[in-house]
A and B are shown apart, each in its own frame.
Chain A
Amino acid sequence: MSIGLTHYLLLAAMLFAIGMFGVLSKRNIIAVLMGIELMLNAVNINLVAFNRFMPVHDLTGQLMALFAIVVGVAEVAIGIALAFRIYRDRNTINVDELNRMKG
């Protein structure tokens, strides 16, 4: 059995699901950020795998993954800064306590 697109996609889906689980179930805002990073990487794996196995004629998939990495990094920077700021202002990074949106 040779390794093909399906295997990579399944792997990416699992990684995505794990990240999603983290995002939904962790209390610490930094852990949530980590979950998001995992999900982003899962998507990138998809992109690269498609580029490798689908009939295309250039490196668009990899380029796309590159841009996604750039955006992901920017997002992490902002996310950490936000977490830091929230911690300073409210002395907590527990997402459960950050419920000012409660209607």
Chain B
Amino acid sequence: MFNEFALEHAWLIPLLPAISFVIIGMVTRSYGKLSAAIAVSMSTISFLLAVGVTLAVVAGNITVDAPFVQKLSWFHIGSVNISMGVLIDPLTAMMLMVVTTVSMLVQIYSCGYMEGDPGYGRFFAFLSLFAGSMLGLVLAVNFLQMYFFWELVGLCSYLLIGFYYYKISAREAAKKAFMTTRVGDFGLLLGILLLQLTFGTLDFMELQQLVPIYVMHGGAGFLTIIALLLFVGPIGKSGQFPLHVWLPDAMEGPTPVSALIHAATMVVAGVYLVGRAFFLFSQLPAVMTVIAWLGGFTAIFAASIAITQRPIKRILAYSTISQLGYMMLALGVGSLTSSFFHLMTHAFFKAMLFLSAGAVMHAMAEEADIFKMGGLRKKMPVTFAAMTIGVLAISGIPPFAGFFSKDEILAAAAQVSPALYILATITAFMTAFYMARLLFVAFMGQPANQEAYDHAHEVGWFMRVPLIVLSVLSVVSGIWAHMAGFDDWVRFGVPAHEGMNLMIAGTSTLLAVIALALAWKVYVAKSWNADALAEKWGVLYQLSFHKFYIDEIYAALIKFFVDGIAKVLYWIDVHIVDGIVNALGGLVRAVSEMLSPAENGQVQSYAGVYLFGVIVLLAYGVYYASKLMAMLGGAF
């Protein structure tokens, strides 16, 4: 019963958080606890509905080939009909589960984390809107609806990253995130418009029918351009190279926001878009190659940066970029299943890692540098346990969640391109290393800062419960989904039934263990001196530590181009635009200076001018009358 109800009322899932946003924003904003209660209860209802939808999808005949669609007409412009509605298939159901779960847990966590913040109510309003936007995006039936929510998600990320608006760095980060993703959104919008022009519809289900026919008859040429433009959107949103620069800076927001952005909402929107439009991308081998290689490159690129970073959240941010690269890589090699599998497991363990990092920073008075922590294992056992599980999960150690999803990706990559496979494996190795580094440096060894260490304490229950729930999910979600036939469920085309490739799984596990051991040797046993290593690999270390100077390169490029254009425009403005305006002004001034003596206040001269006018009119009248008379032949 409930399942049917949930399915029929799936539109409530994004609507409820949106309602909570409105209520909090307009009424209860100044009552923090009440606002939190509203937000959490709304997202809990959303979560329950999402569970209902998922059960209905599992129980019913709803598959990726036969989705459940509800549509309402949104607007007509000429012959263009755009609907809004919900499209539910296993892909959607999975995303709904992930988003509602993570956002609900993050909201519960925030109740504790944001304690005492003056913007408590506002924070929950934004969180609700964020979750609502993402859920709307997930349920979209066409590209335009998706774009609408896509932009809403971007707006919310702006609001939340800039939540501490009184901090300059937060404002700058918010602007950076907004503008960087805007670059991607522009490409996406162009792609969507071209799709509408080419096919006359933006509806996913209709396009799914039309695209293969188009490719069969017309070839892939133009469609490749459209697909590449569409893919620019995910590059921006999902932080792929070269538009990844906003993601690490997004750490300026409160930590729960980071968890939400990185795990469940913002960044996976790009992956979801590619997955949703897979019928388009999978037809175009060239685009698929681009996606795969860009994903692979982003993965190893971000991982190589993460190795040398010191702030805990920044390490996690680069790890997110790297993992998103993984997902893109999986999509690029044609394995929707493994990509979304990894999306799900990653959402759970990355959310947990961020929440743990938040707990650590909360305990350490907002200290972010892992080298100033140390020894926290004894003070914060729950957080330590959670963090350990997260690290093992992301490193791909069996039986944690990451192992299964990562191995599916590796297997899929190996089938398509050995080079990509090697790239992905090296990335996995690096991932294990830097995550272990984070764990060991922050929690093992001796406290680096005794005062902060003494101050540190385990977090409260509001924050502990989400950590525990996510830990459990991080452990079981992988193996459970693997057993339950995720491959059959979330797929594109025919399900790829593959047994576990023991060779690949073994290699990656072995590498992960070696990486962990290596990290242990360097950072716990201190057999090798980390600083000496950094010294030895000087150039590489500097490159990595400074994030390959991407930000600096962008700054220089922007400075060069913007300043150059600005100089030209400045010249035009000063000499041409202002010149015209000044010339006009000067003309008026000159004329009025010529005329102003006439305004001498002498009534008689005014009267003289007036009478002169009368006489002129009279003279004209005479002239006209004489002409008239000549015409009439003298008779008057």
Stretch in A3-11, A53-61, A95-103 touching the partner: A95-103
| Total number of A residues with any Cβ neighbor in B under 8 Å | 13
Whether A24 sits at the interface, judged by CB under 8 Å, is: yes
Instruction: Determine the residue in chain A with the shortest Cβ distance to B600.
Output: A102
Asked if B564 is at the interface of the complex by the 8 Å CB criterion, the answer is: no
From the candidates A20, A23, A32, A101, name the one contacting B601 in the complex (CB within 8 A).
A101
How many angstroms from the CA of A95 to the CA of B604 in the assembled complex? 8
Interface size on B, as a range, is 10 to 19
In the bound complex, what is the Cα–Cα distance between A24 and B604 (angstroms)? 5
Complex contact A24–B603 (CB within 8 A):
no
Q: Are A23 and B604 closer than 8 Å at their CB atoms?
A: yes
Chain A 44-103 residues near chain B, CB threshold 8 A: 95-96, 98-103
B602 contacts chain A at the CB level, 8 A cutoff: yes
CA of A102 to CA of B600, assembled, Å: 5
Q: Is the CB of A23 within 8 A of B602?
A: no
Whether A98 and B596, one on each chain, are in contact in the complex, defined by CB atoms closer than 8 angstroms, is: no
* A74 CB, min distance to chain B CBs, angstroms: 20
Q: CB < 8 Å: which of A24, A32, A96, A103 contacts B599? A: A103
Selected contact of A99 from candidates B602, B608, B611, CB within 8 Å:
B602
Whether B602 lies near A100 (C-beta < 8 A) is no
Query: Do A99 and B600 touch across chains, with their CB atoms under 8 A apart?
Result: yes
Q: Is the pair B608, A24 in contact by a Cβ cutoff of 8 Å? A: yes
Are the C-beta atoms of A20 and B611 separated by less than 8 Å? Answer: yes
Expressed in whole angstroms, the Cα–Cα distance for A102 and B596 within the complex equals: 9
Closest chain A residue, CB of each to CB of B599 = A103
What chain B residues lie within 8 Å of A98 (beta carbons)? 601, 603
CA distance A96 to B606 in the complex (A): 12
Give A98 to B603 CA distance when docked, in angstroms: 8
If A20-B611, A24-B611 touch, whether A103 touches B603 (CB-CB below 8 Å) is: no
Inter-chain contact A32/B602, CB cutoff 8 Å = no
Which of B596, B602, B608, B611 is in CB contact (< 8 Å) with A95?
A: B602
- Closest residue of chain A to B595, judged by CB? A103
Q: How many Å lie between the Cα of A103 and that of B608 in the bound state?
A: 18
Q: How far is the CB of A78 from chain B (nearest CB, A)?
A: 16
Q: List 17 A-B contacts (CB under 8 A).
A: A24-B604, A25-B604, A95-B602, A95-B603, A95-B604, A98-B601, A98-B603, A99-B600, A99-B601, A100-B601, A101-B601, A101-B603, A102-B599, A102-B600, A103-B596, A103-B599, A103-B601
Known: A24-B604, A102-B601, A103-B599. 14 other contacts (CB 8 A): A23-B607, A24-B607, A32-B604, A95-B603, A95-B604, A96-B602, A98-B601, A99-B600, A99-B601, A99-B602, A101-B601, A101-B603, A102-B599, A103-B601
B: which residues have CB within 8 A of A?
596, 599-604, 607-608, 611
**Residues of A in contact with B (beta carbons under 8 Å apart):** 20, 23-25, 32, 95-96, 98-103
